[in-house]
Amino acid sequence: MQSLVLWTVALVAGWLATLLLHRRIDRVSLADFAIAIAGAALAGGVLAPSLGVAITGEFGLTLPGTLSSWGGAMTLLGIANLARFGTLQR
């Protein structure tokens, strides 16, 4: 159950990060979306539990867990955009 929640959060956080870091929505590529999902999954599945942040709580998702996934998606997608284009936004 927790892995299903993690992947759901990663999909939503990756989608939001992709929308925020691109000027033109019609130019979003599948690779950008995959990078954002990977960043959210890594931050939510590896980094957050090691820092003591739980992704799921008693009643479902937790806000700190969701925000850490979103931050991981934004960070990894921003690093990828800097490496490819020399700027955060494309």
pLDDT tens digits, residue range 3-56? 788 888 899 998 888 888 877 777 778 888 899 999 999 998 888 888 888 877
In three-state secondary structure terms, 60 is: strand
pTM score, whole prediction: 0.85
More confidently predicted of 89 and 30: 30
Q: Which residues contact 30 (CB under 8 A, 6 or more apart)?
A: none
pLDDT at 90: 60
Q: Where are the domains of the chain?
A: 2-85
Task: Say if CB 6 and CB 41 are below 8 A apart.
Answer: yes
- Integer Cα distance of 37 and 69 in angstroms: 9
Interhelix angle 63-85/30-42, rounded to 10 degrees, is 140
pLDDT at 83: 92
pLDDT tens digits, residue range 54-71? 877 777 788 888 899 999
